[in-house]
Structure 1
Amino acid sequence: MPADSTQEPGIPGDRDQGAAAGGRAAKGRRRKTRSARRKALLVTAWSAAGILVLGGAGAGYLYFKLNGNLKSVDINQALGSDRPTKVDNGSENILVLGSDTRAGGNRKLGGGTDDGSARSDTAMIVHVYKGHKRAGVVSIPRDTLVDRPSCTDTHGTTHDAARGVMFNSAYSTGGATCAVKTVESVTGIRMDHYVEVDFTGFQKLVDDLGGVEVTTTKSIKDPDSHLDLAAGTHTLDGEQALGLVRTRHGVGDGSDLGRIQLQQAFIKALTDRVRHLGVLSNPKKLYDLADTATKTVTTDSDIGSVTDLASFANGLKGISSSHMTMVTMPVQYDSADANRVLVDHTKADQVWKALKSDQPIPKAATEGTATGSAKDVVSSG
């Protein structure tokens, strides 16, 4: 949920490395993990609006099996040079999308028809500060009206620009490349990486983790999302977790903004769960997590192999939920349509300027903007 205070990036000497999944085991067992790393796949997981990336450093058929699970998109080739300049200050920007595909197993979870179409149900810009000890996460409401630039998808098809369309139409129109180009057009910030997570994979991943504990301050009930939670502490299984991050009618004002606040709270709980889950001592659980995760994500081609993904994820494992500032892109309700929001450009520019400069997001950037009335409804258990 949106942070209440400005956080400083990159504290040197941060010792909060914890027992991340695939990272170190609990204190007192660090020497044993060296042997485990040689014998099993190294799994490092870190999540922000649903990012959870796992990679391996194993060998033999396990490596090739996991590598074969991964799907990647060559964003750089598709977009070419018509992009913001990369800022070389040690930081990284990652666009994370939760895809609402209507094909196969996702039909039951997402509703609609099995027509193979897809939408970006969740979108977050994850800014990893220099030193990789802190992160700033900016959620982009899917109902935001934006000017979508022309873009060429990975199949070589060019899609015309469009004015005043919903943000998530970029993905449904031209896939990952169009989504990335739209985000770069709106923010002026180059996305260094792209990670996409789908519904079915997200649900199974939570189940493989043994559930995620959250506390709700009020009851949440939404038949459309198959969610019925009383106020209190719960260990959510995969179906419940998916219902929580998708509900927009169970709590708050029924807008996408309220759903975003629930998503941000769940991501923090998921991050803590992963960091404190010691799986290196259980090779079977380790492999199941890696197998599910590599089937779940689609990435840009720069991190499109198990070894590259592991290296990338390993650099993020020091970021705990307490070192994540989570906000929503500054928007205002559209007076002409209660179901849409408009970018508050003056305040949003403060956010983009801060991220470009690798600086904390100022509190003033989100004050007085539209909210979803679901803040503090969910927290880590």
Structure 2
Amino acid sequence: MAARDGRDERSGRARGLRAAGLALAGALLLGCAAAGWAYWHLSGNITSVDIDGALGDDRPARPVAVPSASPVPTGALNLLVLGSDSRGGEENQELGGGDSGGARSDTAMVVHLDAGRTAATVVSIPRDTLVHRPSCPLPSGGTTRQASGAMFNTAYELGGPVCAVKTVESLTGVRMDHYVEIDFSGFAKLVDALGGVTVTTDVDIDDDRSHLHLDAGTHHLDGTEALGLARTRYGLQGGSDLARIELQHTLVKALLEQVSTTDLLTDPARLYQVADAATGSLTTDTGLDSLGELTELGRSLKGLAADDVRTLTMPVLPAPADPNRVVADEPDAGDLWESLR
């Protein structure tokens, strides 16, 4: 009788272990399926443009790569980052994008990552800068007309990301290794997913066009308010685009601080929310159009703190023919771009 009881006990333990094993295997399979779906979904969020294929070899040369044993990229890198004043979609229209007649590059920044990825320089190009806009290929097979004395942001409006990149490379002589664009709704969702952002302004802001009304001081902004801060212009003294850029630089530093203090790795749900917001309204070149490639870029920047990021505006002067426009201030502008090659 005792032997039978022992066999029954062992048999019960075995059934229990098998059941636990099946449950664990099921949980692992579900976890893997969920992770696979999340990866597929986030990668599918990203829209890509084949910049290299469209522009070919008629571009500034890439810097010579220095061999490195690091498992992540460490070479110098230049990215063109555009904030798109997209006029399509209900969410973008509610945030000030206007009608569905097109889109403009509302914000343009050249981001230079130093070799070693321990420092970065962000250079804003005022959208009112008068530039030589080169002829750009169009998806239809045609080309845009080149123009002298054209406003910088017309390049994107006429020829999209490809023409924006070509115009920046023509202006700077610097090869853009990657292209990143985020629209109104995507930026607002990203800030909200991060829990908002804290900024300090030195002046009162009262701008009906950007829907922002703030007293001077420190404020914790949600996504819509942060977008308003990035866009505000007419609520500033003189309605200056250069003053708006200064606010954008303040916002960039504040966002970097917010990211560094938000421990996303210990909160998978929050991490997914941030990743979904970041990729949901993102357009990149084909070299950054997957979650794996974006993650690799992010891993290479893990040692970069907000204090390691320098923010500048391309040196400009009032345009001789139009005081409401600016032109590059040479040789200072050229010297700045030379330092980023």
Question: Structure 1 CA distance, aligned partners of 2:138 and 2:62?
Answer: 21
- Of the candidates 174, 190, 199, which is equivalent to residue 189 of structure 1? 174
Q: 1:118–1:40: structure 2 CA closer, same or farther, 3 Å change rule?
A: farther
Tell whether 2:148 aligns with 1:163. yes
Amino acid across the alignment from 1:208: A
SS in 2 for 1:100: strand
CA deviation string 1:32-66 (max 9, x = no partner): xxxxxxx999xxxxxxxxxxxxxxxx941111111
Q: CA deviation at 1:233?
A: 1.6
Amino acid across the alignment from 1:152: P
Cross-structure match for 2:56: 80
Tell whether 2:186 aligns with 1:210. no
- Of the candidates 87, 96, 121, which is equivalent to residue 136 of structure 1? 121
Cross-structure match for 2:71: none
Contact 2:131–2:152 at 8 Å: present in 1 too?
A: yes
Cross-structure match for 1:249: 234
Cross-structure match for 2:309: 324
Question: Structure 1 CA distance, aligned partners of 2:250 and 2:138?
Answer: 33
Cross-structure match for 1:113: 99
Aligned length: 301
Tell whether 2:241 aligns with 1:228. no
Cross-structure match for 1:51: none
Q: 1:40–1:110: structure 2 CA closer, same or farther, 3 Å change rule?
A: farther
Q: CA deviation at 1:111?
A: 4.2
Tell whether 2:279 aligns with 1:303. no
Cross-structure match for 2:13: none
SS in 2 for 1:224: coil
Tell whether 2:70 aligns with 1:94. no
Q: Which moved more, 1:103-112 or 1:346-355?
A: 103-112
Question: Structure 1 CA distance, aligned partners of 2:76 and 2:332?
Answer: 22
SS in 1 for 2:191: helix
Contact 2:88–2:97 at 8 Å: present in 1 too?
A: no
Tell whether 2:157 aligns with 1:172. yes
Tell whether 2:98 aligns with 1:122. no
- The gaps in structure 2 that reach 5 residues or longer are 1-29, 66-74
Which consecutive aligned stretches of 4+ in structure 1 deviate over 6 angstroms post-superposition?
none
CA deviation string 1:234-264 (max 9, x = no partner): 1101111011010112223311111111001
Tell whether 2:44 aligns with 1:71. no
SS in 2 for 1:158: coil
Identity over aligned pairs, percent: 53
SS in 2 for 1:280: helix
Question: Structure 2 CA distance, aligned partners of 1:198 and 1:147?
Answer: 25
Q: CA deviation at 1:320?
A: 1.4
Amino acid across the alignment from 2:197: V
Q: CA deviation at 1:346?
A: 1.1
Tell whether 2:312 aligns with 1:336. no
Cross-structure match for 1:25: none
Q: CA deviation at 1:217?
A: 2.4
Q: CA deviation at 1:231?
A: 2.0
Cross-structure match for 1:22: none
Q: Which moved more, 1:79-88 or 1:103-112?
A: 103-112
Amino acid across the alignment from 1:269: A
Question: Structure 1 CA distance, aligned partners of 2:97 and 2:311?
Answer: 29
Q: 1:277–1:40: structure 2 CA closer, same or farther, 3 Å change rule?
A: farther
Question: Structure 1 CA distance, aligned partners of 2:284 and 2:222?
Answer: 25
Contact 2:97–2:184 at 8 Å: present in 1 too?
A: no
Question: Structure 2 CA distance, aligned partners of 1:298 and 1:318?
Answer: 25
Amino acid across the alignment from 1:343: A
- Of the candidates 263, 281, 295, which is equivalent to residue 248 of structure 2? 263
The structure, 1 or 2, with the larger RCO (C-alpha pairs under 8 Å, 6+ apart) is 1
Contact 1:154–1:177 at 8 Å: present in 2 too?
A: no
Question: Structure 1 CA distance, aligned partners of 2:209 and 2:237?
Answer: 15
Amino acid across the alignment from 1:140: I
SS in 2 for 1:180: helix
Question: Structure 1 CA distance, aligned partners of 2:177 and 2:224?
Answer: 31
Amino acid across the alignment from 1:106: N
Question: Structure 2 CA distance, aligned partners of 1:40 and 1:206?
Answer: 28
- Of the candidates 254, 273, 297, which is equivalent to residue 258 of structure 2? 273
Q: 1:345–1:108: structure 2 CA closer, same or farther, 3 Å change rule?
A: same
Q: CA deviation at 1:157?
A: 2.8
Amino acid across the alignment from 1:322: D
Contact 2:85–2:97 at 8 Å: present in 1 too?
A: no
Q: CA deviation at 1:154?
A: 3.6
Question: Structure 2 CA distance, aligned partners of 1:232 and 1:259?
Answer: 17
RMSD: 1.7
- The gaps in structure 1 that reach 5 residues or longer are 1-38, 42-57, 357-381
Question: Structure 2 CA distance, aligned partners of 1:309 and 1:343?
Answer: 32
Contact 1:69–1:294 at 8 Å: present in 2 too?
A: yes
